[in-house]
Amino acid sequence: MDHWPKDVGICAIHVVVPSLYVDQTDLERYDRVSEGKYTVGLGQKQMGFCTDLEDVNSLCLTAVSQLVENNGLSYTDIGRLEVGTETIIDKSKSVKTVLMKLFEASGNFQVEGIDTTNACYGGTASLFNALSWIESSAWDGRLAVVVAADIAVYAKGNARPTGGAGAVAMLIGPGASLVIDRGLRGTYMNHAYDFYKPDLSSEYPVVDGKLSVDCYLNALDRCYESYLSKCHGGDAGLDRFDSFVFHAPYCKLVRKSLARLYMNDFVNCVGAKDENRKHQDYWAYVEKTFVELSRTVFQDKTEPSLLLASRVGNTYTASVYSGLASYLLSVPPERLPGKRIGVFSYGSGLASSMFSIRVVDNGKLSGLIDNLKKGVGRLDERTRLAPEQFEDVLDVRQKSLHQAPYVPTGDRGQLFPGTWFLSGIDEMHRRYYERNE
């Protein structure tokens, strides 16, 4: 329709990584597991984490303020602000309302949007809401901001090495360098208890690991089938995409996911019966074969997207967009224009979607890449802590959860400059934030 704004999509991205990390080889030794269990078996190198100085509010404050500053924006330019997160610290007050603190000086309080929550899918739902607003009669010509942020921590055990923390803020509007393909979206929703957080007194989830992987891969099948059914003409499979970015609970699952799509293309090509490929037993039988057959495709299309996933870990709602950022920084800028990027987003419980992004050379792409480097470049400036220190931090977080009044005990000197942090909680559970200079 000719009345839609042109080239609506992502105009800018900013990534926030924690200033602290633990090395996965150190964790292997500390946990007394076999060498390579986390680094090879899960595909993880490092894991970012936060002390009690940071929560989901502070992560989002940092992400949005730095996005605005790095891109020379005014808060009056923003008409919608959406937050995707599953890290809930208040059952009523949204993270978005806390972020309005940033808008006070500008006098702009007319900002639509609110939080969206469903495991790791909230960031994608928020992105879709922002896109819909810009393409609706409610749009007032201003830009939208979507911020996805989470702190992923687990109880002691097999799941703990799959944690992480971080945030991604995205500026959404017309004339974007990363254009969302209109009308090409596959979605699959269902009911499952694969990962959930019923205990509000703890940050730790309840996880059925095997079921979660099965749900993820089944959702991937369904979304891929739905997406391809909407493609008309041209390539109708992985050849359609120059890159494919997946939600990354851990890197090894992403490797299997690309092989899964490769298998689906193969099965469709030879005309095998659908009921065979949708059984998990069938996948288990052929998995190793297709992982090997798709090795070159994986190295070309998906491995470049795993920089942040391997070095920061699972960031829940921010994970798939960290993958997008990683891909954009892993490919020479001159080779990006014209590329189509497939995106698969999954949130347990379950909600999932697949969509695609076209990279457009509109004179703004180099600026997007340069600003993106400012956040991701912090990876090499982080402080490495020992596993004992990492466990101490998690113990403090767990014991202090919902305490009021409370003054965080973390070391402010370890925070990056420009980081917002929790300065204290009063007796009425009201949280106060300051910025590290």
Catalytic sites, residue numbers = 86, 120, 247
From CA 243, how far away is CA 232, in angstroms rounded? 19
Residue holding tokens 């799509």?
261
* Burial degree of 49 (CB within 10 A; 0-12, 13-18, 19+): buried
Could you tell me if 99 and 62 are in contact, meaning their C-beta atoms sit under 8 angstroms apart? no
Could you tell me if 70 and 16 are in contact, meaning their C-beta atoms sit under 8 angstroms apart? no
One-letter amino acid of 329: L
Could you tell me if 402 and 389 are in contact, meaning their C-beta atoms sit under 8 angstroms apart? no
From CA 245, how far away is CA 202, in angstroms rounded? 31
How far separated are the first and last CA of the chain, in Å rounded?
Answer: 48
Q: Which two tokens stand for residue 413?
A: 């000197």
Q: Give me the torsion for CA of 319, 323, 329, 334, rounded to 10°.
A: -140
Using CA of residue 23, residue 27, residue 30, residue 33, what is the dihedral sign?
Answer: negative
What counts of helices (H) and strands (E) characterise the chain?
13, 16
Nearest to 347 by CA among 205, 135, 156, 159: 205
Cα separations (Å) of 329 from 170, 179, 214, 249, 306? 16, 17, 31, 21, 11
Element (H, E) at 219: helix 209-229
Pairing of strands 46-49, 20-23: antiparallel
Helix axes 365-376, 56-70, angle to 10 degrees: 140
